[in-house]
Structure 1
Amino acid sequence: MVLISGLGSKMSWLFQVPFFKERMRVIAVHNRGTGKSSRPNYPYTMTMFVEDVKNLLDYLNIDQQIHLAGISMGGMIAQHFVLKYPDKVKSLILAATSPEFNPEPLIAQVKLNPDPEERFKGRLPLLYSRNFRKRLKEDNELFEIIRNSTMEDQTRVEDYINQAAAITDHHAIDLLEKIKNPTLIMGGMKDRLLPLSPHSEILHDKIPDSRLEKFEGLGHGFVTEGADMVNEVMWNFIKDHM
């Protein structure tokens, strides 16, 4: 299983890795510009991200088909990966993502909050529902787990900008019908960043025989908010395509 994170994140799948590593081999990719991966200071492209994943699989001598999951920008990368390397993908999971997106408002907010701590706090309303943000205020242990995951190996402003360049170049809407791999599309009904309607609904409409799973009351970061539910939905889908 290969998990691809979103813009500026090295571990969007924080609560999926422990669940799935008990069931299969899991590779959680640090996209270029995040975590332990290199951070060349120039604009990235979707092709670069796709080839990074392909090269990692080659380096690890993984030649069997993978279960590929991507969230937000990671879902965009996953779309391009499966379009270029369809035979490498056994099943596809697209979470809180879109066939196209303008990242400029998001980058403007990042530039306004160059301090990592302030940037983390400023993004919480975009990422999570009001109910989950209330829970974070009451559950300090959970808050610190999420905060520490973000603050370790901090993503710099220039890293966000370089990654966002690839999103600007992401226009897959006319290509989605070519995806023939089993596909699960997931979205939170309270997603403020990439609202399920229209983004996930367009993916569902364009990708043949895809399945759309809606998570009531959850935001963009629904894989964190509703981790137990999400894990079961993902696992049941994957089991159908082992």
Structure 2
Amino acid sequence: MNIFIHGWSFDKTIWKDFYNLENSLFFNLPFHGDFKDFEDKNIIENYIEYIKEKIKKSSTLIGWSLGATISVLFYLKYPEKVKKLILIGFSPKFKDEKLGHNPKNVRAFMISLKKDFKNTVFNFRKSSTNCYFKSIPLPEEKGSYNLLNEYINLDITSEIEKIDVPTTLIHGKKDKIINPLASIFSNQKIKNSKLIQINSHHAPFLEDKQIILNEIYPDLSI
């Protein structure tokens, strides 16, 4: 089974080019897409439990940005349910200039979300992907803000050394959201990992889906 988890402010339709894959599930983050009814405290912890109930056998987790971090946290809690990790634009510590994003800019972004949620989200999408993606509905404001706040305060730099399944790190060299050094650092810490750097933005799979297909089906020519 392939499990796809998208990044903050988008929804599962960001993976639409992969919808034709067999044995694949596409999850919305809490407060994103049509998944708006969720407890807005301990969101990531509760979401991991939600995912656990949906995954019936050992699976490949494909996570992007916040979705990548959730994939790692899920593995750390339920390693028996994960056979491979594909982490796109991953950061083990987002509020860090080298491993994520400049903390001053992060604080300014959170303030901007409070003042003008709609335009701040669209501008974030533009910075991430070079597109506003206005066709994707806005996430629910309060819940998605709290979810993002939980994410930016995580630090799993020491935890990623515990990962013991094949792991592929994919990162855009022009990523404006998460410093590409984050994946280089993670590649050094995760013993069974490889790093793929793409001349792209924060979402390289939008430009070339083959980079993910090659990792899901390494023995096949897609």
Q: Which interval holds the TM-score relative to the shorter structure?
A: 0.7 to 0.9
- Cα deviation for residue 111 of structure 1 reads 2.2
Superposed, 1:65-80 pairs within 5 Å as 65-80=58-73
Per chain length, whose mean CA-contact separation is higher, i.e. which structure has more relative contact order (CA < 8 Å, sep 6+)? 1
| CA shift in 2, pair 1:234/1:49, >3 Å | same
CA contact (8 A) 1:46 1:170 kept: no
Query: Considering only aligned residues, what root-mean-square deviation do their CA atoms show, in Å?
Result: 2.3
Distance of 2:166 and 2:84 partners within structure 1: 5
Note if 1:220 corresponds to 2:219. no
Residues 24-64 of structure 1, C-alpha deviations (whole Å, 9 max, x = no match): 2221111211122243463334322211211222xxxx2x2
Measured after TM superposition, the shift of residue 96 of structure 1 is 0.6
| CA distance in structure 1 between the aligned counterparts of 2:17 and 2:111, rounded to whole angstroms | 30
- Give the Cα–Cα distance (whole angstroms) in 2 for the partners of residues 69 and 122 of structure 1: 25
Identity of aligned residues (%): 20
State TM-score, norm by structure 2. Answer: 0.83
Equivalent in the alignment of 1:88: 81
What CA deviation, in whole Å up to 9, does each residue of 1:203-241 have, x standing for no partner? Answer: 11111120111111x1112222x1xx3x22222222238
Aligned to 2:32: 34
Distance 1:161 1:9 in 2: 13
| Residue aligned with 2:92, SS | coil
Structure 2 counterpart SS, 1:147: coil
Tell me if structure 2 keeps the 8 A contact 1:3–1:69.
Answer: yes
In structure 2, the CA distance between the partners of 1:241 and 1:205, relative to structure 1 (3 Å rule), is: farther
Q: Does the residue aligned with 1:211 lie in a helix, a strand or coil?
A: strand
SS in 2 for 1:190: coil
Written as runs of structure 1 = structure 2, the 5 A alignment for 1:172-211 is: 172-197=156-181, 199-211=182-194
Q: Flag structure 1 segments of 5+ consecutive residues without an equivalent.
A: 137-142
Task: Count residues with an aligned counterpart.
Answer: 209
Which has more helix, going by share of residues? Answer: 1
Q: Distance in 2 between matches of 1:82 and 1:40?
A: 22
Q: Deviations over 1:114-152 (max 9, x none)?
A: 3x3x34542244213xxxx4xx6xxxxxx7xx321x22x
How far did residue 13 of structure 1 move?
3.6
- TM normalised by structure 1 equals 0.77
Partner of 2:134: 147
